[in-house]
Amino acid sequence: MERTEAELIAAVLKGDSSSFEPLVQKYSPRVFATARRYARRESEVEDIVQEVWLKSFEKLASFRGEAPFEHWLMRLAVRTCYDFLRGHQRNRESAFSELTEAEEDWLERFVVEPSSAPEDSDAAKLLINRVMEKLSPQARLVITLLEIEDRSVKEIAELTGWTVPLVKVRAFRARGEMRKILSKIAKDKYL
Amino acid sequence: MNHSKLQDKLLQAARANPPSDQVPYAFEKRITALLASRKVEDKSVVWSRALWRAAFSCLALVVLLGVWLHFRPTPPSTETADDISQDFRNTLTAQNDTPTPP
């Protein structure tokens, strides 16, 4: 018979670390998808996910079982991703590299007729990734959670540990930061 | 160029392209092995920490004993030594001191 999550967690806390494996198996897809939002290289993604699981194992005793394990784990995952972004801030300070031909084509199509630039194209994906990489860690986290993952301010506050007003302030600043980057791209390209 | 429209369009692009949730092969095995190795490592760390603590405690005890032996208040040894030498001299010269009968 398959054991429940609560039973698995209780077994891990009693010292049976092999009971942790089904939890890793079940939730790794979600953790990987989250980590891939913040890190581009696959080796970095694996490092982040590994750290999330090691931390969750170490801190498992602090899981009270009041909320689902998944919520607790995702909080840990988001905070680990944020730490990763803060630790790699230097990367975003590098010079804005030139746009690829596909990205330039996409931008040109957008300038001529915004609706003609498809949002599901690879070029659009590359461009948004490029913009996200230029954002500060706070701005990137807020934009990802609020605008891309479509989470509420309250949810973001719970995930990040920030207060609701702080999330709102950071979201406002993040949008401004993003517009600034976009205007820089436009300036570099069209002026 | 309308920046806020571009921003919306790019955010739509990000929403339309969610990241893959693919997990590398046998990733959970790797995590379990890592946890097991950390556990073994933890035991050795605990042992070495305990041994180091014991070594430092012994060293501290030796130093304290050394200091105490060096600076301990010595008993008035001169007096005792004087007493012994006096006794020794008295014993040796006892015969001379004994008044000879007339």
Q: What per-residue string of b and e applies to A91-116 under the rule 16 or more CB within 10 Å gives b?
A: ebeeeeeebeeebeebbebbbeeeee
Place of tokens 């959970």: B28
* Residues B17-30: tens digit of each pLDDT: 899 999 999 999 99
Place of tokens 């009971």: A19
Per DSSP, the three-state class of A105 is: helix
Assign residue A163 a region: left if phi > 0, alpha if psi is -120 to 50, beta otherwise?
A: beta
* Residues A19-51: tens digit of each pLDDT: 999 999 999 999 999 999 999 899 999 999 999
Residues 6+ apart with CB under 8 A from B47: none
Indicate the pLDDT class of residue A95, thresholds 50, 70 and 90: very low
Closest approach of A148 to chain B, Cα-based (Å): 5
Closest CB to B15: pick one of A21, A121, A148. Answer: A148
- Which is nearest to B38 in space by CA: A79, A62, A20? A20
Contact at CB, B4 and A179, closer than 8 angstroms: yes
- Which is nearest to A135 in space by CA: B56, B86, B7? B7
Cβ atoms of A52 and A31 within 8 Å: the answer is yes
Angle between the A164-190 and A122-134 helix axes, to the nearest 10 degrees?
120
Helix spans in B1-102 (H): 3-16, 27-71, 77-92, 94-97
Sign of CA pseudo-dihedral B63, B67, B69, B70: positive
What is the rounded distance in angstroms from the CA atom of residue A53 to the CA atom of residue A57? 6
What is the rounded distance in angstroms from the CA atom of residue A126 to the CA atom of residue A101? 11
- pLDDT for residue B40: 67
pTM confidence score: 0.74
* Residues B62-87: tens digit of each pLDDT: 999 999 988 887 766 555 656 778 88
Residue A94 has pLDDT above 60, yes or no: no
Tokens of A33: 């998808």
- pLDDT for residue B84: 79
Query: Between A and B, how many CB-CB pairs are < 8 A?
Result: 101
Sign of CA pseudo-dihedral B6, B7, B12, B14: positive
A111 neighbourhood in chain B, CB within 8 Å: 1
Tell me if A1-87 shares its fold with A97-191: no
A25 neighbourhood in chain B, CB within 8 Å: 28
Residue A168 has pLDDT above 90, yes or no: yes
Domain residue ranges of chain A, discontinuous segments joined by + = 1-87, 97-191
Fold exhibited by the domain A97-191: Arc Repressor Mutant, subunit A (1.10.10)
What is the rounded distance in angstroms from the CA atom of residue A182 to the CA atom of residue A38? 19
Q: CA-nearest residue of chain B to A18?
A: B32
Tokens of B29: 């095995």
Q: What is the mean pLDDT of chain B?
A: 83
Mean pLDDT of A133-147: 95
- pLDDT for residue B69: 87
Q: CA-nearest residue of chain A to B36?
A: A17
Q: CA-nearest residue of chain B to A178?
A: B7
- Which is nearest to A89 in space by CA: A141, A146, A149, A156? A141
| Separation of CA B101 from chain center | 77
What is the rounded distance in angstroms from the CA atom of residue B22 to the CA atom of residue B29? 16
A1-5, A140-144, A184-188, B23-27 — which is least confidently predicted? Answer: A184-188
Pick the CATH number of A1-87 from 3.40.50.720, 3.40.50.10540, 3.40.50.1820, 1.10.1740.10: 1.10.1740.10
